[in-house]
Chains A and B, each alone.
Chain A
Amino acid sequence: MDKVITASNLTKKFGTFTAVDHISFEVAKGEIFGFLGANGAGKTTAMRMLCGLSLPTSGDATVAGFDVYRENEKIKRNIGYMSQKFSMYEDLTIRENIRFYAGIYGMSDEAIVKKTDALVSQLQMTGNEKTLVRELPLGWRQKLAFSIAIVHEPAVVFLDEPTGGVDPVTRREFWNLIYQAAALGITVFITTHYMDEAEYCDRVCIMVDGRIDALDSPAGLMKEFKSTNMDGVFLQLARKAQRKAD
């Protein structure tokens, strides 16, 4: 099976503080991989290394076949990224935002036009292409931001708490988009505070004090930790944390 992300003893130190401590895992093509951990467990630092934004202190990792030390610029071109805070340009319209990001990712004008039409109709935003992003409800914005993050059909998309603050129906509609992207072969790497969402992932890893303390399918983890839901699994692991960042 194609491995889209590989990490082997990946480590990041800030002075004497080890934020990420020898983590190793692999993520397959088209997999939805949940990345959980308490605040301060090292999730963001690990994700920044995988996105090519921060160099590891030691260990190895590849993303979309590119090395995180030597080819981080290529990584940036082959991934998508979205967070709750990641905002589109509020004073540009829906169409302009798509055009802008697609252009940044080097798509041709012809491809952009095609893609924009497909995307707008898929999101059921036809007729609203000229609406300013500022005027969109939060749920629409998040769906649009996700679609823009994968506009260039990247090998992997990193989603950092993408569903915070939206209503429960919109949250589920957002997950439908994630499933559709995964079905197209895009690997999804996602962090979330919603434990029911952890159960929608193919596999989940849980970070504690910079280490990966558990990695399995949700069903496997629930069995291992004798819990009927992921909340129970998470609490058991996170309570072990020595690092009191939060």
Chain B
Amino acid sequence: MQSVTVSHLIKNYPAGKKSVVEAVRDVSFSVDKGEIFGIIGPDGAGKTSIFRVLTTLLLAEGGKCTVDGLDVVKDYKEIRKRIGYMPGKFSLYQDLSVQENLEFFATIFNTTIEKNYDLIKDIYAQIEPFKERKAGQLSGGMKQKLALSCALIHKPTVLFLDEPTTGVDAVSRKEFWEMLHRLKTQGITILVSTPYMDEAGLCDRIALIQKGKILSVNTPKGITKEFKKPMWAVRSAEMFRLMNSILADPAVESCYPFGQYHHVVFHNAENEIQKLEQIIREGNFQNGEIKPVEPGIEDCFMALMKEQGTHG
């Protein structure tokens, strides 16, 4: 069963007298029940607009969306009872304590902390020692855990998490994803957006999005399989000069730095090693190394951006 459907969604914002910003341009995808679905893209891609339409906080200019089989325009009241939403900006009451915030959200949804404690126990237990503290005085990671607890306290069927890991360090990010995977086992559908490409592999399926357009929807493995050309990892001393030399070769389609290596793709897959060896030799680059490499989500994202002309 499909938990969320988005069909030809269009969202514009007025900008000046006659122009509009096209934030979401004809976006379609669907999310299965119990799935972790990631919407992955940079700032300004349209992630938050999609979330706000689905959480019935914003009306779209076009398209049809459903959540739990209900229409986001017609049935907005019923949808609001069923979903959990954690906005990108911390939106709890800063001058209420941790426990007061949680009680407040439980009461709003006609339930109690005790009734659904099982669902949040894992997460809430980590901040419970600070339950008397005002939410505004919590650290970033603790705020994140409280916000997630509040979004879950009424046992939603679909959880919307808008950039929950932005600005959070690598350790807290990892912990957060572990929490999401435990929630998935409870049958909750999770829509999560992120600008971090390395989080793609933690989702069941992902939509890559850029400038209001979907570049691709698939499993993370499916997306990297769509990358047809062989990719090479190259390194040497003087990496910046090496990149410029590689890019100067007309046979090269793209060359992007990836950590310690440059990832290189050629227009035509022939004699690539020889061509790279030649560049290293002629440029007199020391400690040259060339090896084949499997493309990752970020490689695919950049290739799709280039293909669909959404860079700039």
Q: Are B305 and A167 in contact (CB under 8 A)?
A: yes
How near does chain B come to A185, taking the closest CB pair, in angstroms?
Answer: 15
Q: Does A131 contact B (CB under 8 A)?
A: no
Which stretch in A87-95, A151-159, A192-200 binds the other chain? A192-200
Given A167-B42, A167-B311, 19 additional A-B pairs, CB 8 A? A38-B170, A39-B140, A137-B44, A164-B167, A167-B210, A168-B197, A168-B302, A169-B256, A169-B306, A169-B311, A170-B42, A172-B256, A193-B167, A195-B170, A199-B260, A218-B260, A231-B170, A235-B174, A238-B169
Query: What are the residues of chain B within 8 A of A169 when measuring CB–CB?
Result: 256, 302, 305-306, 311
7 intermolecular pairs with C-beta atoms under 8 Å apart = A39-B140, A39-B172, A168-B302, A169-B302, A231-B170, A246-B168, A246-B172
Interface size on A, residues (CB 8 A): 37
In the bound complex, CA of A161 to CA of B258 (Å): 18
* Cβ–Cβ < 8 Å partners of A199 in chain B: 259-260
Chain B stretch 111-144: residues in CB contact (< 8 A) with chain A: 139-142
Residue ID in chain A nearest B163 by CB atoms = A165
How far, in Å, is A197 (CB) from chain B's closest CB? 8
8 Å CB interface, A228-243 against B: 229-231, 234-235, 238-239, 241
Contact B141 A246 (CB under 8 A): yes
Cβ < 8 Å to B, chain A residues 29-49 = 37-40
Which residues between 205 and 246 of chain A lie within 8 Å of chain B, taking CB atoms? 218-219, 229-231, 234-235, 238-239, 241, 244-246
Report how far A176 CA is from B260 CA in the complex, Å: 15
A168 to B311, CA, bound (A): 10
In Å, the complex CA distance between A218 and B257 comes to: 15
Cα distance A200–B167 when bound, in Å? Answer: 20
Within 8 A of A (CB), among B65-79: none
Q: How far is the CA of A246 from the CA of B168 in the complex (A)?
A: 9
Complex Cα–Cα for A175 and B262 (A): 13
Contacts of B257 in A (CB 8 A): 172, 175, 200
Number of interface residues of B (CB under 8 A): 35
Binary flags per residue of B167-184, CB closer than 8 Å to A gives 1, else 0: 111111010000000000
Contact status B171-A137, CB under 8 Å: no
Cβ of B43 under 8 Å from chain A: yes
Contact present for B167 and A229 (CB under 8 Å): no
Chain B residue nearest to A165 (CB atoms) is B43
CA distance A218 to B198 in the complex (A): 19
Whole-angstrom distance from the CB of B25 to the nearest CB of chain A?
15
Q: Is the CB of A229 within 8 A of B259?
A: yes
Q: Is B277 an interface residue (CB 8 A)?
A: no
Quick check: is B105 within 8 A (CB to CB) of the other chain? no
B258 and A193: CB pair below 8 A?
Answer: no
The answer to whether A234 touches B170, judged by C-beta atoms less than 8 angstroms apart, is yes
Specify the chain B residue showing the minimal Cβ separation from A140: B312
Smallest CB-CB separation from A37: which chain B residue?
Answer: B169
Tell me whether A165 and B166 are in contact (CB under 8 A): yes
In the complex, whether B85 has a CB less than 8 A from a CB of chain A is no
With a cutoff of 8 Å between Cβ atoms, the chain A residues found around residue B44 in the complex are 137-138
A34 to chain B, nearest CB (A): 12
Tell me which residues across on chain A come within 8 A of B301, comparing CB atoms: 167-168
Judge if B195 is at the interface, Cβ distance under 8 Å: yes
**Are A166 and B42 in contact, CB atoms less than 8 angstroms apart?**
yes
Which residues of A have CB within 8 Å of B170? 38, 193, 195, 231, 234-235, 238
Q: Does B46 contact A (CB under 8 A)?
A: no
Decide yes or no: A138 and B141 within 8 Å by CB, A38-B170, A38-B172, A183-B240 being known contacts.
no
A219 and B237 alpha carbons, distance in the complex (Å): 12
- Tell me whether A168 and B298 are in contact in the complex, defined as CB-CB below 8 angstroms, given that A138-B43, A196-B259, A246-B141 are known contacts: yes
List the 9 shortest-distance A-B pairs measured between CB atoms, nearest first: A246-B141, A165-B43, A199-B259, A167-B42, A38-B169, A196-B259, A179-B240, A238-B171, A246-B139
User: Does B41 sit at the interface, judged by CB under 8 A?
Assistant: yes
Determine the chain B residues whose CB is within 8 A of the CB of A238 once the complex forms: 169-171
- Min distance, Cβ B177 to any Cβ of chain A, angstroms: 13
Residues of B155-207 at the interface with A, using a CB-CB cut-off of 8 Å, are 166-172, 174, 195, 197-198
| CB-CB nearest in chain B for A219 | B260
Q: A137, B312: Cβ atoms under 8 Å?
A: yes
A191 to B112 Cα, complex, angstroms: 43
